[in-house]
Chains A and B, each alone.
Chain A
């Protein structure tokens, strides 16, 4: 019985390969991993934020990525002059160059503080945009607004190590960052999967092992499985009010994908790995996500799909 189920699953996977056309990633070594992290906000003197050792964590993902024969460590940008210009799409405004930076690799991490802004994630930058952004931030899209339109140039997998990057009540808009409304309908290029957190996430200088295991796992099982297993944390149980009773704050990962159809969305999120990449979604007719039900972070209510 088990064996027959295995062959059924294997047959389905092969069927998907034929239908959706996996890239020939099995022998690819040209795939690019990139990381953009901001550790030091105070030193910039421009955009107000607290310093964190994000790089200690993301570096371990970055270094693991080129240990499997598929990816090169293409770009590691830490602090530097990181501003909205590196992440915003040219169609969203002037002085936007995502096609030269974040949308130029296959897999990328953005690690910075986040906001829950209306119905979308906003990421804090180190410097203001040259002309079009006075608030030191990059905004994921909502209807008729936003700057972060990805995948229309190259990017397949976006990982956000940032608070509120996948809040439950924003999932109704998350699909919008998977394409550029201007270019994607023309060139058929779109983002495949994005991963983030509901509520506040944590930074610990010694948590590189979580990010390293995430990368290593995602070459053997789906990126979704790797994200959900390695990024969930339940050990932050601390006394915050002096009553000698610890309050527990969870770290709540979410994995999210899009596709033209409901079933294709499931197939993508359940099977795509770093080394098993489907062709770009031809359109966005369905969304799908995995989440930790009831996960209760700092700064937000427990995850509930009553909210979208």
Chain B
């Protein structure tokens, strides 16, 4: 019985504010219930999502500078060794070895690649990598839009260029959601100004094309994983931003710990009502997604195995429900407040205990 005490207390803490706040915002529970995905509370469906097929190799293993240089058409990008952070194992070595290891790979620990590096080109372009976070940023000032040059690159060509760059970087092809790609034109507007405002005809030019690809695992969006580019007038990549952390499912979580739909609903109501006065809640939206454990509203880092992990599994993912909270829609020019849209990732599994997961989950 003692082992159920902690979960009961946690559940109570979770439910109490929901009950109180739900009474304060009477229409909120129904609003949330309407939009919660049908999989919420369904341990079979969510259990399947805990065992997805994971593509291999993942980005951090597949990253290859030569391929990246070719895809970016920036062949003289060079590693600026002084910009790198040594990995944890390297940091524990004598300082002299660490220093020499930056320049002489033979003196580095085997398998300990430098982290958070910047690669530069004399013309000013740079590629910044944060391998652990799966973040890659390439910017090239020589390819920035200049003057009133018009960009004639069609969106399909721009998207294909971006796709090829992502593949060259090492993004697993199976995870790129081609169907949900978004391609937008970024335009320049310029106009002369008289004493009281713009005068004459504005100049409007299609400056860049911005394709964006999202990530999908087990047919489910991976929240905040994306690759997007800016394609210049010559069809080259002017900028590329990729966030694609290696995919893993947080260990220690099983379908047995699936929260009921009511528990999730209560958690959403409590969270939304805590930040938003009832009269300022206009609309609530929801979707199912894989979310990194450290992005969950109630971090489940403890779910990720032993304490020795030092939070490394915070970068792993779990199915969660993404909630978007909007204020009442303000009429154009009305002077009514437009609330910044709030995004929250609500867990779908109970916080783990240190006890072995046997027996029924207390309701």
Contacts and interface: CB of A to CB of B under 8 A. Distances in A.
Interface of A: 2, 6, 9-10, 12, 42, 48-52, 54, 113-119, 122, 124, 143, 161-164, 169, 171-173, 175, 199-204, 206-207, 209, 213, 216-217, 220-222, 225-226, 228-230, 232, 234-242, 244, 246-247, 249, 258, 262-263, 265-266, 270-271, 284-295, 298-301, 305, 308
Contact of A116 (B126, B203, B295, B338): B338
Contact of B335 (A117, A172, A258): A117
B305 to A, nearest CB: 22
10 contacts: A9-B146, A49-B337, A163-B340, A201-B340, A225-B139, A225-B230, A228-B186, A232-B212, A237-B287, A288-B190
Interface in B268-295: 274-277, 280, 283-287, 292, 294-295
A240 B280 contact: no
A12 B146 CA distance: 10
B187 interface: yes
Interface stretch (B92-100, B167-175, B194-202, B351-359): B194-202
Interface in B177-226: 180, 182, 184-193, 196-198, 202-204, 206-208, 210, 212, 214, 221, 223-224, 226
B228 to A, nearest CB: 7
**B interface majority secondary structure:** strand
Contacts of B180: 237
A240 B151 CA distance: 36
A204 B325 CA distance: 11
A293 B185 CA distance: 6
Nearest to B295: A206
Contacts of A49: 280, 337, 339
B344 to A, nearest CB: 8
B330 interface: yes
A52 B326 contact: no
B248 interface: no
Contacts of A228: 186, 208, 210, 230
Interface of B: 34-35, 37-38, 123-126, 128, 133, 135, 137, 139-142, 144-148, 180, 182, 184-193, 196-198, 202-204, 206-208, 210, 212, 214, 221, 223-224, 226, 228, 230, 234, 238-239, 241, 243, 274-277, 280, 283-287, 292, 294-295, 322-327, 329-330, 332-344
Contacts of B191: 262, 286-288
Contacts of A117: 333-335
A230 B191 CA distance: 26
A216 B285 contact: no
A136 to B, nearest CB: 10
Nearest to B120: A220
B103 to A, nearest CB: 22
Contact of A202 (B126, B128, B327, B340): B340
A238 B139 contact: no
A300 B327 CA distance: 13
A284 B263 CA distance: 58
Nearest to A226: B139
A235 B226 contact: yes
Nearest to A10: B142
B131 to A, nearest CB: 14
Contacts of B133: 209
A199 B338 CA distance: 8
Contact of B332 (A202, A265, A284, A300): A300
B96 to A, nearest CB: 26
A225 B189 contact: no
Contact of A6 (B123, B274, B322): B123
A294 B184 contact: yes
Given A244-B37, A300-B332, A291 B197 contact: no
Nearest to B35: A239
Contacts of B234: 2
Nearest to B325: A50
